[in-house]
Amino acid sequence: MRRSKVSQIAVLCGTLLGSQGLGISVAQASVLTKLSLSDMTARAEQVLVGRVERVDSKLAPGHDGFIITEVQIRCNRSIRGVKEGALLTVRHLGGAVGELGQRVFGEASYQVGEEVVLLAELREGALYSVGMAQGKLHVDRSTGTPRVQVDLAGAELLAPTGTDAIPTAQGVPLEVLIGQLTELVRRIPSPSERSRATGQKP
């Protein structure tokens, strides 16, 4: 398949993700439940503001023809679970390897040099943004006051599960979002913190 003919594999990737509690069906893989900040904070092991340093795509082991992309993000401001200055690796489905390209509607995507707010959860031994594209927020500094917004990458959102919904196209000031996340992290434990409190494995 030529790279110019991007494979739109949302349905197939929905099959892979459907068992991971993401609310994605095989027939409607590009329809996501709109998560609130509270929901996302409860699922997030790491919450940070950082900058993308590297993006590498490769064929996924054990899944013939599927591509995963690993993204390295330098933490500039820690909100939960990661030290400032640390390099975090997060994955997403899709990408480009040689002449093969795959796009997953609703999946997060990253550009080298991009500044992001990231809420990351642990799945099958790797970190992914919570709620696919919803957990990766782009920071825009072009207007003077930094604002954050979500690029839904072609997905449609169902009604939110809470009242504190994440910012989408309109965006919100970065410092406002950081304040909200800082307060939520103070009140809502991460999955690993809840597991330790109950004596269960994460």
Q: Classify residue 97: in a domain, yes or no.
A: yes
Dihedral angle computed from the Cα positions of residues 124, 125, 129 and 131, in that order, rounded to the nearest 10 degrees: 20
Contact 94, 13 (CB under 8 A): yes
Q: Classify residue 92: in a domain, yes or no.
A: yes
What is the C-alpha to C-alpha distance for residues 71 and 84, in angstroms, rounded to an integer? 17
Task: Find residue 59's DSSP bridge partners.
Answer: 67
Q: Classify residue 2: in a domain, yes or no.
A: no
Edge-to-edge strand ranges of the sheet holding 7-8? 7-8, 100-103, 95-97
* Other residues' Cβ atoms within 10 Å of the Cβ of residue 22: 20
Q: Classify residue 194: in a domain, yes or no.
A: no
What is the C-alpha to C-alpha distance for residues 69 and 66, in angstroms, rounded to an integer? 10
Q: Classify residue 172: in a domain, yes or no.
A: yes
The tokens for 34 are 């709109």
Q: Classify residue 149: in a domain, yes or no.
A: yes
pTM of whole model > 0.85?
no
Query: Do strands 126-129 and 147-149 pair parallel, antiparallel, or not at all (unpaired)?
Result: unpaired
Q: How many domains does the chain have?
A: 1
pLDDT at position 13: 42
Contact 79, 179 (CB under 8 A): no
> Is the four-CA dihedral 114, 135, 79, 58 of positive or negative sign?
negative
Q: Classify residue 123: in a domain, yes or no.
A: yes
Structural domain boundaries enclosing 90: 7-187
pLDDT at position 163: 56
The tokens for 29 are 């893989």
Q: Classify residue 135: in a domain, yes or no.
A: yes
pLDDT in tens, the chain (202 residues): 344 334 444 433 443 443 343 433 333 446 777 888 999 999 999 999 999 999 999 998 876 778 999 999 999 999 999 999 999 999 999 999 888 888 888 899 999 999 999 999 999 899 999 999 999 999 999 988 999 998 876 677 665 555 565 655 568 999 999 999 999 999 999 999 999 888 766 5
Q: Give the three-class secondary structure for 152.
A: coil
pLDDT at position 197: 83
What is the C-alpha to C-alpha distance for residues 146 and 138, in angstroms, rounded to an integer? 10
pLDDT at position 144: 86
